[in-house]
Amino acid sequence: MPEDELKQAITQVAELLEYFKRQTEKASETNSAASYQLQQAAATAPAVLQEAASSALMQVSKDLAGVMQNNLQIPVDDFARRLKDVDQRIDKTTKSFAQRLIMFEKRILLSVGLMAVAATLLIVGAIGGMWYFQMEIQRNRIEADLLRAYNQADVTICDNQLCAKIDKTGKRYGNYVLVAPR
């Protein structure tokens, strides 16, 4: 493109931008009420924010299109298309993020559940082990008491049987008598 044509195109774009600026300021005054309502809706109901924003943007687009229809129709249409594309990308990203957040939450809940089951099994196993060892200790106490009594008694093995020296003066317990101490 020749330099003169480029300068002329730049000048036209600058004039067009200046005209757009003036028209935007005029449109801004007429849209301040719509902007206030949009801010109120965004502050009170995040779920309604997208619908209100779309409505306000459509109103802004209609007002701007009416004001600048002769000279700015193409730039306004391009701006609206880009704005719509950005809105769709934001929607898509928000939905994707929400889905990932839900999946993360499910994984956290599953992990917590599995940890609770594992902890319960560990506690039950520990209680079972403690009960078993308590019973073993009780059994070993009885055996230890019996071994102490054998060690204090005067006993020996006679023909593969236990023989004891009886305390004839000792107290009797039914058919049993005390074994003499060593």
What's the pLDDT tens digit per position in 143-181? 998 888 888 888 778 888 878 877 777 777 776 677 766
Question: What total number of domains does the chain contain?
Answer: 1
Rounded distance between C-alpha atoms, residue 67 and residue 70, angstroms: 8
The secondary structure element, H or E, covering residue 159 is none
Q: Give the distance between the most distant pair of CA atoms in the chain.
A: 141
**Domain range enclosing 38:** 3-102
Domain assignment present for residue 125? The answer is no
E runs forming strands in the chain: 155-158, 161-164, 172-173, 176-177
Domain assignment present for residue 149? The answer is no
pTM over 0.75: no
- Per-residue pLDDT tens for 101-126? 999 999 999 999 999 999 999 999 99
Rounded distance between C-alpha atoms, residue 105 and residue 88, angstroms: 26
